[in-house]
Amino acid sequence: MRRYADVTELIAEQAADSTEQKALEAVARRVAHELERPVPYRPKFKAELRQELLRAARRRLRPWYGRPAVVGPGLAAVAAAVALAIGLQMARPPAAQGPEQVAEEQPAAPEAPAPPSVTGDEPTSYLVHLPADLPEVRLADERTRLDRQLLAPASTAVVGSVQLMRLTARPGEADFRAMASRLGFRGESRRTDRGWVVADEDRSLTMTTDGTVQYADLSEPDADAAPVDAQAAGQAAQRFLDQAALPVHSQPDISPREDGFMVVYTEHVDGRPVVNARTEIAVNQAGTVVRARAFVPSGVTLHATYTEFVSEQEAVQLAAERGGSFQGAELVWVRSVGDGTVYLQPAWRVLGTNAQGAPVARYVGALVHEDSSGQ
């Protein structure tokens, strides 16, 4: 127990008598004996995670490597880590195991078709299965102008792979209470079927377990207050977000309304918008936030790269199968809620006309489970 002298000392200090002291020391020895045993791990996992961390580190710590684009080594770099993390099998056979390593033998993974080469000499990591709880992209058609510019810069052609981000955005009641407290709610919160709600005389705040936050203030506006301009409305929205600890990382789009302004923040990932997770804040003419819809910030935890995905051409065909005529598509991000995880998944925003001839943007998931894609 010399190694655990501090534990022995603690026991000696706090034990009621020598009997207890001896008994607790024996317990400590037994637990130490059990916990000192190494925990087996898969050498393949350790080696691949190291490799992918190094790749990620090279990009992160040496800026001249450049930010990863939607396609290329940047995404491949984190793919294996995600493959391991999500528990999916990768195509390579297990690495050789050193004689002294604490490791378990693993059966070889089933053979998978080789992916197309995306990045020169770099080994390409790829996934061949999607998370089981990845929801299907189901967004309604969006009315648009046929000649409308694509939303994303689309400077990077999607050639070899697309990326999925797995987020952790499932808030708990503690998160809700903290937010309510920051926004000055004093009443008791209560559980609802989908989350939590708190209300005072004129205001209410709800949060659902998928991370959606909605706020409303129905109090009468101050009739004597001088009307605010767009800039002041933007500042009021920003103050609200700061107070609620809902960070946004994009510039707001502020548009006038009959009763004030609507401030909209569209999150972007790799320069492409998340089309269904816009933060919307209505500010009245007195500069008070009267309504807000936002999402609990989600730390991006894992990325995955998929080389088997719906191509732009296939997306156009899939869109047309639902009626109408479509010409081209751009890749955007969609926030979607799985059983236990919130995802950011890529989707094609396909431009064309619907069956009635109206110009629309139709959304087609870029990552589709094999059985639902018909492949």
Partner 1 sequence: MWSEYREVRYRREGPPTHRPEIVETYSDEQRLVQRAQRDPEAFGELYDMHFDRIYAYIHRKTGDRQVAEDLTADTFLKALAHIQSYRYTGQPFAAWLYRIAANVVIDYYRVRRPTVQLDEGLSAAFGGPEPEEAALALDDRQAVSLAMQALSPDQQDVIIMRFGGDMKLKEIAAALGKTEGAVKALLFRALGTLRRKLSESGVQP
Residue ranges that bind partner 1, judged by CB under 8 A? 3-4, 6-7, 10-11, 14, 23-24, 26-32, 34-42, 45-46, 49-50, 53-54, 56-58, 60-62, 78, 81-82, 84-87, 98, 100-102, 168, 170, 172, 299, 301-302, 340-341
Q: Which one, of 314, 284, 294, 313, lies nearest residue 249 by Cα? A: 294
Give min distance, CB of 157 to partner 1, in A: 27
Distance, first Cα to last Cα, the chain: 62
Q: Which one, of 304, 276, 298, lies nearest residue 342 by Cα? A: 298
Give min distance, CB of 276 to partner 1, in A: 21
Helix (H, G, I), strand (E, B) or coil at 363: strand
Give min distance, CB of 172 to partner 1, in A: 5
Give min distance, CB of 27 to partner 1, in A: 4
Q: Which one, of 282, 250, 243, 255, lies nearest residue 265 by Cα? A: 250
Give min distance, CB of 308 to partner 1, in A: 22
Give whichever of 285 and 336 is closer to partner 1, judged by the CB atom: 336
Give min distance, CB of 296 to partner 1, in A: 12
Count of Cβ atoms closer than 10 Å to residue 88 Cβ: 16
Phi, psi values for residue 155, rounded to 5°: -80, -20
Beta strands in the chain (DSSP E): 142-143, 162-168, 190-191, 195-199, 203-208, 212-217, 252-257, 260-265, 268-269, 272-273, 279-284, 289-295, 299-306, 325-337, 342-353, 359-365
Query: Any residues with CB less than 8 A from the CB of 89 and at least 6 apart, and which?
Result: 83, 109, 110, 128, 129
Give whichever of 12 and 114 is closer to partner 1, judged by the CB atom: 12
Give min distance, CB of 102 to partner 1, in A: 8
Give whichever of 58 and 138 is closer to partner 1, judged by the CB atom: 58
Q: DSSP class of residue 74?
A: H
Give min distance, CB of 329 to partner 1, in A: 31
Q: Are 314 and 295 in contact (CB under 8 A)?
A: no
Helix (H, G, I), strand (E, B) or coil at 275: coil
Give whichever of 83 and 262 is closer to partner 1, judged by the CB atom: 83
Give whichever of 236 and 337 is closer to partner 1, judged by the CB atom: 337
Query: Any residues with CB less than 8 A from the CB of 172 and at least 6 apart, and which?
Result: none
Give whichever of 48 and 217 is closer to partner 1, judged by the CB atom: 48
Give min distance, CB of 179 to partner 1, in A: 15
Half-sphere exposure of 152 (CA within 13 A, CB side): 26
Q: Are 215 and 205 in contact (CB under 8 A)?
A: yes
Give whichever of 41 and 253 is closer to partner 1, judged by the CB atom: 41
Phi, psi values for residue 195, rounded to 5°: 170, -125
Give whichever of 9 and 136 is closer to partner 1, judged by the CB atom: 9
Give whichever of 102 and 218 is closer to partner 1, judged by the CB atom: 102
Angle between helices 230-244 and 173-182 (to 10 degrees): 130
